[in-house]
Amino acid sequence: MRYSRDKALLQCILASIIVVALKGMLLQAKDLPSFWRLSKLDGLVWIITFLTVVLVDIDYGLLVGLALSLASILVQGMKPYTCLLGVMPNMDLYLDCNRYREVSATILH
């Protein structure tokens, strides 16, 4: 009798741990649109990792997420951000011409 009660208690504790972990994971799903707007590559890594964890296994999902994150870092490192810099009037400050309309781009030859 005691063994079955202890087993039921352990199953309840395990179920509560899983529910708490899933709650945090599902709350992170609300952040997906902001990940997608910020970087499509990071959003894609998140989606693939999430689906692998849910559909395949946690261990494989974490391994896939790690591999995709490292590949993402390598891809982003090979394609750096480039822009045309312009000088702010009356200042020694150079900013991106596409982001700041106040700057004037002077091309030096």
Contact 93/102 with Cβ under 8 angstroms?
no
Measured CA to CA in angstroms, residue 58 lies from 5, 51, 54, 63 at distances of: 29, 10, 7, 9
C-alpha–C-alpha distance, residues 72 and 79, integer Å = 11
C-alpha–C-alpha distance, residues 107 and 109, integer Å = 7
- Torsion-angle region of 84 (φ positive above 0: left; ψ -120 to 50: alpha; else: beta): beta
Please state the domain extents for the chain: 2-78, 81-109
pLDDT computed for residue 96 by the predictor: 87
pLDDT in tens, the chain (109 residues): 566 778 888 888 988 888 887 787 778 788 888 888 988 988 999 899 989 988 998 889 999 999 999 999 998 889 888 888 888 888 888 888 888 888 877 665 5
pLDDT computed for residue 1 by the predictor: 58
Give the DSSP H or E segment for 36. Answer: helix 32-38
pLDDT computed for residue 107 by the predictor: 65
**Residue type at 59 in one-letter notation:** D
pTM above 0.75, yes or no: no
C-alpha–C-alpha distance, residues 55 and 40, integer Å = 22
C-alpha–C-alpha distance, residues 26 and 81, integer Å = 33
pLDDT computed for residue 108 by the predictor: 58
